[in-house]
Amino acid sequence: MKGELANYSIQFSLRIVSYYKWLTETQREYVMARQILRSGTSIGANIHEAEYAISKADFINKIQIAAKEANETEYWLIILEQSGFFDESFDDLKQLLKSLIRMLTATLKTSKNGK
């Protein structure tokens, strides 16, 4: 799961960067664009940090932070979409994010159960 989770997080981060560029260059939206760029790329950064955790507790903490960032990113996607700052060419962001949240949740459950 770790490799798959890391790969999804990289794919998602790259799409978030593309979305950020579209928001700033095409839509001239900067404030929410920075928010979603920060939270969206933070997911992968925390997942990758977790791979080098010094303890199980550290690993769980990093994955929990990634999950929180994923939920914040979901919030910004909803706000941006409902504000008219969304293009259907970025629909895959929603699916990638849902997959990431599912994987993060499963990783947390497995880690907390000692497996």
Residue 3 or residue 12, greater confidence: 12
Domain containing 11 equals 2-112
Give the count of domains, the chain. 1
pLDDT at 114: 73
> Around Cβ 31, how many Cβ atoms within 10 Å?
7
115 pLDDT above the threshold of 60: no
Is the CB of residue 107 less than 8 Å from the CB of residue 67?
A: no
* Domain containing residue 72: CATH number: 1.20.1440.60
The structure tokens listed for 69 are 């960032």
Banded pLDDT at 2 (limits 50, 70, 90): low
Summarised one tens digit per residue, pLDDT across range 49-91 is 999 999 999 999 999 999 999 999 999 999 999 999 999 999 9
Please tell me the predicted confidence (pLDDT) of residue 102.
97
Distance CA 79, CA 73 (A): 10
Per cent of the chain over pLDDT 70 is: 97
Mean pLDDT of the chain: 95
